[in-house]
Amino acid sequence: MSETVNWQSSFVTTAAGVKLHIQRSGGAKPPVVLCHGFSDDGNCWPLVARELTKTHDVILADARGHGLSDAPRKGYGPEEMAGDMAEIITQLNLDKPAVLGHSMGAITAMALAGLYPELPGRVLLEDPPPSWMPEEISTADSLPLDEFPPMFDWIIRTKRHTAEELVAAERANQPGWSAEEFVPWAESKLRLSFNIVSRFGLRLDWPAILVNVKCPVLLITSDPERGGMVNATHARAFQSIVPHARVVHITGAGHSIRRDQSAAYIAAVVAFL
């Protein structure tokens, strides 16, 4: 994040009593809320946050179970997380903020725009899981933690390492990332709650929700062969449900588009905002 910005840290408490940690740059500028992906937290936007604070009041939110936010035993589905975001926007008195989300955070932004269409001014989605596809739609309930041994084991293995060890390994895996990305990425993994695993298995009727989206939408996609989750078929299906959505494809990037191709990503975000 920008060294010249005096970030203000605080908490928003939801009606259900969940304390959500936020950081805010402030200023008399239009607001933009950044929603991180699974296992990241609000600190994981260093380059994007620095750029956007030039023109926007930036709010970095830790999703429940992440960062410094509370980690209740249950309630990690898209509806709950969208409800958390709605409370943040409402309690901070944000007027039609832009909401930018990555992966899980993009799902949160999608659900927010469909379930609370009066709140966001525009929504930007960085490589969300293509849950709107027919084969992905299910009404399955959340399953117990012991039904997800691979993800549970991944969290255990990750937490056995120090931040320094995680940084060193990820530097080797992602040589194209900016040096600023690695420390917040590693630290976020060590703060992650095991309870977040109860998110997996949850699905919504996305076409029924997305048809309610009225604000401008930008879907940012990348290369499936590099790990991007949204391919051309998925993007066309999304536009068939949200006809006014724009799609920007950034080549040379995988799932973490902003980290793989930061300049092109930031240019696309700034242009849409």
Report the amino acid identity of residue 205: D
Given the DSSP bridges, would you call strands 98-102 and 217-221 parallel, antiparallel or unpaired? unpaired
Q: Which domain holds residue 139?
A: 8-272
In a domain, 210, yes or no: yes
Residue range 21-46: average pLDDT?
97
**CB-side neighbour CA atoms (13 Å) of 173:** 14
Q: 3-class SS at 154?
A: helix
Q: What pLDDT, in 10s, does the model give residues 223-232?
A: 999 999 999 9
Which of 16, 53, 13, 17 lies closest to 32 in space, CA to CA?
Answer: 53
In a domain, 2, yes or no: no
Residue 136's CB is within 10 A of a number of other CB atoms, namely: 12
Q: Quote the number of domains for the chain.
A: 1
Q: What pLDDT, in 10s, does the model give residues 170-223?
A: 999 999 999 999 999 999 999 999 999 877 656 788 999 999 999 999 999 999
| 226's tokens | 């590099």
In a domain, 95, yes or no: yes
In a domain, 22, yes or no: yes
DSSP, residue by residue, 146-207: GG-HHHHHHHHHHHTS-HHHHHHHHHHH-TTS-GGGHHHHHHHHHH--GGGGGGTT----HH
Tokens 């998110």 correspond to 199
pTM exceeding the 0.85 threshold for the entire prediction? yes
In a domain, 253, yes or no: yes
Tokens 């990332």 correspond to 177
- Give the CATH number for residue 113: 3.40.50.1820
